[in-house]
Structure 1
Amino acid sequence: MPLAVPPGAFPGAAYLPGSDVLRLPDGRLRYVPPGARRPVTAPPGDPGALAAAARTRAWLERGAVPGSDGAERAIAARSLLNIRLLVLPGGAAIAAARDRWDYVWPRDAGWMAAALAATGHHAESRAVLRFLARAQLPDGTWEARYRPDGSPVLDGRAPQLDANGWFLWSLWLHTRTGDRWGDARELWPAARRAADAAAGSLGPDGLPPAGADYWERETLYPNLGTAAPLRAGLRAAADVARGLGHRREARRYARAAARLDAAIGREFAPRGYPRTTAPGSGADAAVNFLAPPFAPPEEGVRRAVEESALRLRAESGGIVPGERWPAGRGVAWTPATALFMLSAAASGRGEEADRWLGWLAAHRTALGAFPEKVGPAGRPGSAAPLGWTEAIVVLALAAEEGRVPVPPVPGG
């Protein structure tokens, strides 16, 4: 397991500048040696620890650290280093370095791969994508989560179809941000299976079936948290297929994306893009999956994002995932909050994105990690760093610099 630093742990500790080596209050250094899965604690000035710090600084310098000023770049750098710590040897990108979170959720892993790709760390994003390709089921889908060795966790959770969309989108972003067509060619069999499964999941109404969304709860009706990622993924798959010369597949995925787009416009748009097609399902943070950087801007989507931000506000000022979130409004969820930052940043609404970043940054742990949750008193809680939130923030800052392209609309 990587260096696990729960909220409130190691009071008085601090990272060596630009590194993931932790200096404890007594001067000792705690870090993860190369190739290891567990941290060690070394004396002050330990050569191995200092070398590890130098390696992380060099790693940051090989890519881009987005941000409009020093404060934003410091946030981005810490988030990138936290993501780097969560990507284990072999490409297993665990959700967080804590028991019960130290698994690979394909959704979270895809986002971490995207953040790495958008900042020029293509070797690491390729490793994560390769892990996901190896873990893929024969039917082109993924289980809800995996152990770092790639074995599925079979605990009764249903496969979550949004993983197909996120894998395809992150592969496309990896390809487009670094001209990585060799990687796209290598991963094409997995991409084709994922896109075929996504296209094949669409019913007569053009929507994927009801199932578990990013809440990891089953819905009785088709949900936006699955439909929107699949739309982005199918558009991405069509573009990758076209770039690789697979014209028949490109046309098939483009048609599926168009069917899904029409169904979203027919079934979700008239209700303001709620969580599901059921009446009264309420606003959901997944509306951001329809906005840039996943799709070109649409005025109706922009209005729905704005309205959802008001309806999903938590007591602490952050966001809850949905209007009917079963835990109530007492605890904010940082991934949901960061999604509003991302769509604002990618849509050119810089002041709005800055406000969301200000809230998120003010509720990090003392070591600068984004937690999963923020309580009503404003204290960070649960797992930290949470890879999904770290990735969303990096992508938002990168989007403000034009580093996160939008998958093209086929025929658009």
Structure 2
Amino acid sequence: MPSARPAPRPARPPGRRPGVRRFRSAAALLIVAALVATSGSTLSTAPSGPGWASPGLVGGAGWPLVGVPLSPAEGPGAAYLPDSSVVRLANGQIRLVPSGTETPATVPPGDPQVAAAVRSDNSWLAHGTVPGSELRLGSAYQHHRSAEEYGDMAKRALLDLRLLTRPNGASLASWYGAWRYSWPRDSAFAAAAFTVTEHPAEARRVLRFLARVQHEDGLWAARYNADGTAVVDGRPPQLDSLGWVLWASWFYTARAPSPRDLPELWPMVQRAADHLAHSLDTEGLPPPSSDYWERDHRREQDPRRPTLGVVGPVLAGLRAAAAVADGYGVRGKAAQWRAAAHRLSDAVARQFTPYGYPRSPVRGGRMDTSVTFLAPPFAPLDPGVSGAVATAARKQALPNGGVLPGERWSGNKLVAWTPETALFALNAAASGRPDEALGRLDWLTEHRTTLGALPEKIGERGQPAGVAPLGWTASLVLLTLSALERPLPVLPVDNSPPPQARRPGWRP
């Protein structure tokens, strides 16, 4: 998401974005309603969080696609019309965003805009695939949800991702305040989710946005406004984002009929991969950086070295870049990036493996969800890593069925995070443990909002406790359901680096 960020640093007011005035005027009453609502839907428990709530987004037909939150006061008794983002309120009236506007309207059921909006959403879903709806659940899985229920969660996740993705390709983390930004990390997963569900146009839009806003040195800002301008709030670039964008780019090429229909892809990949390859130090590690926790690296157990939350994505990214270069026939770059990946893999074996793959490479290092970044679908199956994933899942487990982002989490220790739960689900699905994956998907299904959106967090009593929908969780759920139906592509790993790339101490 705006990943597991316990306490975001205050940002300077970003530059005014096109349409922001209209959005604010439309949302003002909704936010006021959220402040006074007694409904338990999606109340934030973040220390810096405002008093807002929303059970989901309302959309409509036409272009640009716009999603606005439904007031929690209107949530009880409301429901989406089938396979759409159009909401029927408890009084029978219909809430939608009319075509060409950003302001929601309430109209009678017979209004022609209703049929047009539903038709638009239905058609878009039909042009792709809905993972989970055709899961073959035999008697061994009778204690899990039905394929219809998994498919319903997937449809809502897809429609929400569509509403969160702006016409320029900026994929927003969610709809409100500190979440209404585009993080390259979250955007990479959105591109992968659109790819795997056969919506290549949306995947290309997201990747093109990332290519346009990338710095010449290959870096991305920590986050971007919806118009593509970088948010200037003192946060340095987060190195894991390079790895995730490279992985998503390879994922797209592995599924796309022709990656050459995206000419921006190769220059973006080359800039990012060159930066990562040149960033490795004498130990073979990238420099310390904030990762998906969005925490200053100086607060880590070992502030001198990168966390696994950086190392895992960087390793996946270098391998991905080498595979993309192979596809483009650029053998020199492929060899260079593959050699860098071998250096980093060897550093992981020296620095993290002896301690059981903790977040920081120290004796007694604490576990966190980033251990899944070294496992399927981001890397080949490894028994040692699989054991570490199981250890992390056990140490992070909460009584409510979800997980904390990490062991000895410094935030609210009673609130579960859905992206981390979904990452464990994705790993289980991609590693051949379908029963475990389905169990975590069951939990996510059960803890959606009243409109079926996937929230960021779940409180101690099982109530949504964060912004909804959350794009990262939606993407991870779609990838998990896809992995259960058809194996996701896993990055190839050549364990024999070119002779000229070998260095003393490298494993053969």
* Aligned with residue 385 of structure 2, among 301, 307, 310: 301
Q: Does 2:117 align with 1:52?
A: yes
Q: Does 2:15 align with 1:15?
A: no
Deviates more, 1:263-272 or 1:350-359: 263-272
Q: Where does residue 167 of structure 1 map in the other structure?
A: 245
Q: Where does residue 283 of structure 2 map in the other structure?
A: 205
Q: Does 2:334 align with 1:250?
A: yes
Inter-CA distance 169–28: structure 2 relative to 1 (3 Å threshold): same
* Counterpart-to-counterpart distance in 1, 2:250 and 2:451: 33
- Contact kept in structure 1, 2:74 and 2:89, CA below 8 Å: no
* Aligned with residue 195 of structure 2, among 111, 114, 117: 117
CA shift at 1:181, angstroms? 1.7
Inter-CA distance 240–307: structure 2 relative to 1 (3 Å threshold): same
Deviates more, 1:33-42 or 1:308-317: 33-42
| RMSD over equivalenced CA pairs, Å | 1.6
* Aligned with residue 2 of structure 1, among 67, 72, 83: 67
Inter-CA distance 41–395: structure 2 relative to 1 (3 Å threshold): same
* Aligned with residue 214 of structure 2, among 123, 129, 136: 136
Deviates more, 1:159-168 or 1:272-281: 272-281
- Contact kept in structure 1, 2:150 and 2:445, CA below 8 Å: no
* Aligned with residue 336 of structure 1, among 401, 412, 420: 420
* Counterpart-to-counterpart distance in 2, 1:216 and 1:108: 13
Q: List aligned pairs for 1:142-161, cutoff 5 A.
A: 142-161=220-239
CA shift at 1:366, angstroms? 0.8
Q: Where does residue 320 of structure 1 map in the other structure?
A: 404
* Counterpart-to-counterpart distance in 2, 1:236 and 1:109: 17
Q: Which AA in structure 2 matches 1:102?
A: R
* Counterpart-to-counterpart distance in 1, 2:98 and 2:315: 41
Deviates more, 1:259-268 or 1:379-388: 259-268
CA shift at 1:281, angstroms? 3.3
Q: List aligned pairs for 1:345-364, cutoff 5 A.
A: 345-364=429-448
Inter-CA distance 35–167: structure 2 relative to 1 (3 Å threshold): farther
Q: Which AA in structure 2 matches 1:122?
A: P
- Contact kept in structure 2, 1:365 and 1:371, CA below 8 Å: yes
- Contact kept in structure 1, 2:355 and 2:362, CA below 8 Å: no
CA shift at 1:180, angstroms? 2.9
Q: Where does residue 26 of structure 1 map in the other structure?
A: 91
Q: Where does residue 375 of structure 1 map in the other structure?
A: 459
- Contact kept in structure 2, 1:184 and 1:240, CA below 8 Å: no
- Contact kept in structure 1, 2:422 and 2:441, CA below 8 Å: yes
Q: Where does residue 92 of structure 1 map in the other structure?
A: 170
Q: Does 2:463 align with 1:398?
A: no
Q: Which AA in structure 2 matches 1:321?
A: P
Q: Percent identity?
A: 50
- Contact kept in structure 2, 1:103 and 1:146, CA below 8 Å: yes
* Counterpart-to-counterpart distance in 2, 1:186 and 1:254: 22
* Counterpart-to-counterpart distance in 1, 2:68 and 2:173: 13
Q: Which AA in structure 1 matches 2:87?
A: L
**Any stretches of 5+ residues in structure 1 without a counterpart?**
none
Under a length normalisation based on structure 1, what TM-score does the superposition of the two structures give? 0.96
* Counterpart-to-counterpart distance in 1, 2:219 and 2:376: 25
CA shift at 1:122, angstroms? 0.4
* Counterpart-to-counterpart distance in 2, 1:263 and 1:208: 10
- Contact kept in structure 2, 1:7 and 1:380, CA below 8 Å: no
Write the deviation string for residues 113-152 of structure 1: whole angstroms up to 9, x where unpaired: 1001011000001001111111111211111110010001
Q: Which AA in structure 2 matches 1:346?
A: A
Aligned residue for 2:106, secondary structure, equals: strand
* Counterpart-to-counterpart distance in 2, 1:76 and 1:328: 29
Inter-CA distance 369–7: structure 2 relative to 1 (3 Å threshold): farther
Deviates more, 1:273-282 or 1:95-104: 273-282
**Any stretches of 5+ residues in structure 2 without a counterpart?**
1-65, 136-146, 298-302, 497-508
* Counterpart-to-counterpart distance in 2, 1:307 and 1:93: 33
* Counterpart-to-counterpart distance in 2, 1:214 and 1:167: 14
* Aligned with residue 286 of structure 1, among 370, 374, 399: 370
CA shift at 1:370, angstroms? 0.9
Which has the higher Rg, Structure 1 or Structure 2? 2
CA shift at 1:7, angstroms? 6.5
CA shift at 1:293, angstroms? 0.6
Inter-CA distance 99–328: structure 2 relative to 1 (3 Å threshold): closer
* Counterpart-to-counterpart distance in 2, 1:279 and 1:222: 15
CA shift at 1:308, angstroms? 0.6
Q: Where does residue 499 of structure 2 map in the other structure?
A: none
CA shift at 1:403, angstroms? 5.1
Q: Where does residue 10 of structure 2 map in the other structure?
A: none
Write the deviation string for residues 24-55 of structure 1: whole angstroms up to 9, x where unpaired: 11222222345544433333222122211111
* Counterpart-to-counterpart distance in 2, 1:331 and 1:98: 20
Aligned residue for 1:368, secondary structure, equals: coil
Inter-CA distance 33–109: structure 2 relative to 1 (3 Å threshold): farther
Q: Where does residue 29 of structure 2 map in the other structure?
A: none
- Contact kept in structure 1, 2:208 and 2:264, CA below 8 Å: no
- Contact kept in structure 2, 1:320 and 1:329, CA below 8 Å: yes
* Counterpart-to-counterpart distance in 2, 1:38 and 1:164: 35
Write the deviation string for residues 342-361 of structure 1: whole angstroms up to 9, x where unpaired: 00001110000011111111
Q: Which AA in structure 2 matches 1:362?
A: E
Inter-CA distance 242–184: structure 2 relative to 1 (3 Å threshold): farther
Aligned residue for 1:100, secondary structure, equals: helix
CA shift at 1:280, angstroms? 3.4
* Counterpart-to-counterpart distance in 2, 1:7 and 1:362: 19
Q: Which AA in structure 2 matches 1:78?
A: R
Matched residues, number: 412
* Counterpart-to-counterpart distance in 2, 1:260 and 1:239: 16
Q: Which AA in structure 2 matches 1:141?
A: L
Inter-CA distance 295–159: structure 2 relative to 1 (3 Å threshold): same
Q: Does 2:163 align with 1:79?
A: no
Inter-CA distance 7–379: structure 2 relative to 1 (3 Å threshold): farther
